[in-house]
């Protein structure tokens, strides 16, 4: 199984973001300076939906501008599933425009025990990634 490395701090922040936005889906972007996700940028879910997410074009533009300024790489995207499993929905697969990135999904189906999974998505292929916590 392929793997993705991410800091424990970023993983915890992603879960907190999902919990804070529930029952709406949260979303955000992940970055790092090598192959380890070391930073995240929470984004506004423009749809304010419980079952879909979308990021605004101007926020995405600013993210990529900032990435270049700090010499980091876009390594992933995350969002939450407030009431369903941590597995890509058909919409998630259709809208997976970054095949080199890891897609993290936080499930709050059981709010007492959030689950987080990561995937590589090259429509229509979905490959689960092992999450390796570092730091």
The answer on pLDDT for 123 being more than 90 is no
Looking at the predicted structure, is the pLDDT value of residue 6 above 90?
A: yes
* Band of pLDDT at residue 84, cut at 50, 70 and 90: very high
- Separation between Cα atoms, residue 35 and residue 15, nearest integer Å: 21
Quick one: average pLDDT of 73-88?
98
Q: How confident is the model at residue 68 (pLDDT cuts 50, 70, 90)?
A: very high
Token reading at 43: 């984004």
The whole-number average pLDDT for the span 127-134 is 98
pLDDT in tens, 25-60: 999 999 998 899 999 999 999 999 999 999 999 999
Q: In the structure, what pLDDT confidence band is assigned to residue 116 with cuts at 50, 70 and 90?
A: very high
The average confidence (pLDDT) of the chain is 96
The predicted structure's pLDDT at residue 135: 87
Q: Write the CA distances from 23 to 50, 51, 83, 114, 126, integer angstroms.
A: 6, 9, 8, 13, 26
Place of tokens 């879960």: 15
Asked if pLDDT for residue 88 goes beyond 90, the answer is yes
Percentage of the chain beyond pLDDT 90 is 96
All domains of the chain, ordered by start, with CATH? Answer: 3-134 (3.40.140.10)
């Amino acid at each position: 199984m392929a793997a993705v490395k991410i800091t424990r701090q970023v993983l915890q922040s992603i879960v907190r973001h999902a919990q804070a936005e529930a029952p709406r889906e949260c979303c955000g972007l992940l970055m790092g300076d090598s192959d380890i996700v070391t930073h995240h940028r929470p984004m506004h879910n423009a749809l304010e939906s419980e079952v879909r997410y979308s990021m605004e074009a101007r926020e995405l533009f600013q993210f990529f501008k900032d990435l270049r300024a700090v010499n980091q790489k876009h390594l992933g995207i995350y969002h939450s599933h407030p009431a369903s499993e941590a597995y890509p929905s058909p919409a998630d697969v259709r809208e997976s425009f970054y095949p080199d990135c890891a897609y993290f999904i936080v499930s709050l189906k059981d709010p007492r025990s959030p689950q987080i999974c990561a995937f590589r998505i090259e429509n229509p292929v979905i490959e689960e990634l092992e999450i390796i916590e570092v730091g």
